[in-house]
A and B are shown apart, each in its own frame.
Chain A
Amino acid sequence: MWLKTRGEVLENREVAPSVMKMLVLAPGAVQSLRPGQFFHVRWQEWSDPFLRRPLSAFSSDKQSGTLGLLFRVVGKGTSAMRRLAAGSHLDLLGPLGNGWPGPERGHAIMIAGGIGVAPLVMAAGQYAAAGVKVSFLLGATTAGDLLATHDILATGASLSIATDDGTEGHHGFVTGLLPGAIAATPLGDTHVLACGPGPMLRAVQAISKDAGVDCFVSLEQRMGCGAGACLGCVVRTSVPGPLYRKVCADGPVFDARTVVIEDV
């Protein structure tokens, strides 16, 4: 069950160009939080920007009651959130959405592009703690844009890096690392968790399908209520049943075989 809670910003700093890491004290919000869920965030009382911003949970600590958010500054909402100083308040709806499937097999491949790393780091920690061997594939346009590498390594996952310009790791898209990672794990004992831009997720979807590996993708869409009421944030399905499913309430995590991934 989700709640409406008030959080206090403890820290808000730029960890890469135009990427902020915010630590929020919000004990009520994190108690039932699962990796892959998100919060629908509002930071002001006035009417412009009008809508909340959906942000994945990047980290949480139930004991201290803190929630970590990692977000890229892209528009006027995130620009305003960039300026929030310690002591500011956030209005949080959540935790919302389904989150990633739990750790059930011996291996998992997590693949993230850019800010898509945000919902995967908690999953890496949860999986590693459950004894799953996690291969984390992380991509960015250039070395300076790589995010959360220390957080990923701290989970115990093995980390492979790709940069579009070749300044670190594999020279090219992170999806170039996926076939090798799949080949290196026992078939039937692994699945892929992915988050990133549309073209990347479509490539991950196709590679996983060809390899016969289960794949789960975390999607984003322009969102209204966040609670499943307004039907604003749908994704088209590719299987029998309802033509559209709600990213906020049925997702944001979907079985990659069931959805048509578009660029947002």
Chain B
Amino acid sequence: MTAPSPLSSSSKPAATPTPSPAPAKPPRRQGAPALYGALPLILLFFTLIVTPLVLTFSLSFAEFDYNTGIQPGYTLANYWTVFTDSYFIEIFWRTLWMSAVTTVLCVVIGAPQAYILNRMRAPWRSIVLLIVLSPLLISLVVRAFGWSLLLGPHGPIGAVTQALGVGTLLYTPAGVILGLVHVMLPFMVIPVWTSLQKLDPAVEHAAYSLSASPWQTLTRVVLPQTMPGILSGSLIVFGLTASSFAVPALLGGRRLKMVATVVYDEFMNELNWPLGATIAILLLVANVIVMMGYNRIVERSYRRSLG
């Protein structure tokens, strides 16, 4: 799994640091002693997250020579390269617009799907929900491979596109986007589904009784209440897509690079670790900003009305 899952969107802790309070909140005991139990895990986290990230951050300032490797000394050359070299700018731009398109598609497909699911009755409801969400637990490689089969010359979609004279969608942005939408869809369905669960069904009836048409009810009553879910899902999908590796690598081929695959290149092929580290740090910062964005923007504007 590449990253945040359902956690960010459920009512339980995830991207937001504080856990939501238990229904009947038991008084918490004072106790630094409790920390002792958590010590091993804390140590592990500091060793494997904080330290390596700090090291990577400092690595991004290292000098690199293609012949001799990493040099001592500090420089901003890597950052300069990343921000000015057209090769990288093109990749950032491509990542950005592909992530945006993927996000929009996920909204357009995922939000209505969550709404339709909400209106189903048992047992179909749980069954279809599980079908739509279960790919989350299946390895990315398998899913990406499946798409390469579908899109390739021998696959059903490939056959159609070839008949249309377009060639196969494999190794094209469209193909990568298809794969990305497939992977990201659950991350949109879950938060929208969650916000729909909080709706009082009688509210839709109230709208009808006041002479609203089904369309008016949808746009004026249901949609505004699910906006927090849609926004939350969009931010998660955008963040995950921008840092996604497996799907672009397997469906994009050598020529269609995105940020994650470029980092892989720099580290594994070019061996220019400092440059790779620079891009990685920038990706991390961007990701954190996007994920934090939800807390600030959405929660604030909806806190008064929807809580």
Q: A and B, one complex?
A: no
B residues near A (Cβ < 8 Å) are none
A residues near B (Cβ < 8 Å) are none
